[in-house]
Amino acid sequence: PYEALHIVSGLWRELTNFSSGSICMVLASHDYDENDYIRDYNVYLTKKL
């Protein structure tokens, strides 16, 4: 891979529109927990303030 993107905690980001045959690899220091994520942008805005 020649490109990477590091997203720090507290930023809003949705990963969509991957091209055919592409791979999204995620490395994390903790196990995935759905409850740790905000899926509604308006809720995110209230938490961010």
* Whether the predicted model's global pTM rises above the 0.95 cut: no
Asked if residue 44 is part of any domain, the answer here is yes
Average pLDDT for 12-18: 87
Q: What is the pLDDT of residues 19-31, one digit of tens each?
A: 999 998 888 888 9
Asked if residue 32 is part of any domain, the answer here is yes
Asked if residue 26 is part of any domain, the answer here is yes
Give residue 27's domain range. 21-49
Three-state SS for the chain is CCCCCCCCCCCCCCCCCCCCCCCCCCCCCCCCCHHHCCCCHHHHHHHHC
Q: What is the pLDDT confidence band of residue 12, given thresholds at 50, 70 and 90?
A: confident
pLDDT at 6: 82
Per the structure, the count of domains in the chain is 1
